């Protein structure tokens, strides 16, 4: 039973990876079925919210029984697009770029890391796992005959917008931005930011609040 999935709010979407992760844990423990009630205890959302969330995409459960863990995991994988294949390039082969290239789980989920691009000559020529570090000047020629889905920005904030503009021209469909900058992209491009400093500043805020009490 598929639903019109167009109008699902981002609040719901952003919870899906957590369901995905938790269901994987259950599978690893050979748990085959789970109720929204049990899941709510382990995941920290209300049972009501879990049922609401899942029903945005279809009725995956069974009254009186609950949800089949493997089936639900498969459905969420599909909803998240993890059954697809995505060509990915990384701009900036510093520690962060290398960390992402090294993370083999992404490859397993269909995110193919084709290459890293770098301007620092000391890094050009390296291999991260089996991913080559190429000269940034080779970016256009390398991508000329390829369809690139995702461009990952792992540069400093000063270069971020220029790199984004280059990626948009290639074109890429999505930009995953790790630079601590707010980059501008056309509406047609998916932009997802990972602002590490934002996250650290929230910790700082919460620490300060705790001390005030």
Write out the binding residues for NAD(+). 92-97
Report the residue from 23, 26, 51, 93 that binds DNA according to the rule CB under 7 A.
51
Residue 184, φ and ψ in degrees, nearest 5: -100, 130
Q: Hey, what are 12's tokens?
A: 């719901």
Residue 11 partner contact from a copy of itself, DNA, none using kind-dependent CB cut-offs of 5 to 8 Å:
DNA
Structure letter (DSSP) for residue 4: -
Separation between Cα atoms, residue 109 and residue 64, nearest integer Å:
33
Q: Which stretch binds DNA (CB under 7 A): 53-61, 106-114, 137-145, 197-205?
A: 53-61
Residue 203 partner contact from DNA, a copy of itself, none using kind-dependent CB cut-offs of 5 to 8 Å:
a copy of itself
Q: Indicate whether 64 belongs to the interface with DNA (CB under 7 A).
A: yes
Residue 63 partner contact from DNA, a copy of itself, none using kind-dependent CB cut-offs of 5 to 8 Å:
DNA
Separation between Cα atoms, residue 73 and residue 88, nearest integer Å:
24
Q: Indicate whether 63 belongs to the interface with DNA (CB under 7 A).
A: yes
Sheet holding 190-193, edge to edge: 127-128, 131-135, 111-118, 86-91, 150-153, 174-177, 190-193
Q: Are 90 and 118 in contact (CB under 8 A)?
A: no
Report the residue from 23, 26, 43, 54 that binds DNA according to the rule CB under 7 A.
54
State in angstroms the smallest separation of the CB of 21 from DNA: 18
Q: Indicate whether 62 belongs to the interface with DNA (CB under 7 A).
A: yes
Minimum CB distance to DNA smaller for 49 or for 77: 49
State in angstroms the smallest separation of the CB of 195 from DNA: 17
**Helical ranges in the chain per DSSP H:** 10-13, 16-28, 36-43, 47-55, 69-79, 95-102, 104-108, 139-143, 157-169, 196-212
Classify residue 4 as exposed, middle or buried by CB count within 10 Å of its CB (0-12, 13-18, 19+): exposed
Residues forming contacts to a copy of itself in the complex (CB under 8 A) are 5-6, 13-14, 16-18, 20-22, 25, 43, 79-82, 84, 86, 94-96, 98-100, 102-103, 105-106, 109, 111, 149-150, 173-174, 176, 180-182, 190, 192, 194-210
State in angstroms the smallest separation of the CB of 175 from DNA: 23
Which three-class secondary structure state does DSSP give residue 136? helix
Interface residues with DNA (CB under 7 A) are 9-12, 35-37, 45-49, 51-52, 54-55, 59-67
């Amino acid at each position: 039973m598929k639903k019109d999935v167009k109008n699902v709010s981002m609040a719901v979407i952003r919870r899906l990876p957590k369901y995905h992760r938790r269901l994987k844990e259950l599978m690893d423990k050979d748990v085959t079925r789970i109720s929204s009630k049990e899941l709510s205890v382990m995941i920290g959302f209300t049972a009501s919210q879990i049922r609401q969330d899942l029903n945005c995409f279809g009725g995956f459960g069974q009254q009186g029984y609950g949800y089949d863990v493997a089936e639900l995991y498969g459905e969420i994988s599909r909803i998240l697009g993890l059954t697809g294949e995505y060509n990915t390039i990384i701009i900036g082969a510093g520690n962060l770029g290398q960390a992402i290239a090294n993370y083999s789980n992404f490859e397993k989920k269909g995110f193919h890391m084709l290459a890293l691009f770098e301007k620092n000559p000391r890094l050009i020529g390296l291999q991260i796992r089996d991913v080559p570090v190429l000269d940034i000047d080779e970016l256009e020629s390398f991508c000329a005959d390829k369809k690139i889905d995702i461009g990952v920005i792992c540069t400093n904030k000063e270069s971020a917008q220029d790199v984004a503009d280059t990626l948009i021209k290639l074109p890429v469909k999505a930009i995953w931005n790790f630079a601590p900058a707010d980059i501008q992209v056309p509406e047609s491009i998916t932009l997802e930011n990972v602002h590490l400093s934002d996250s650290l500043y929230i910790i700082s805020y919460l620490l300060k609040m705790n001390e005030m009490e």
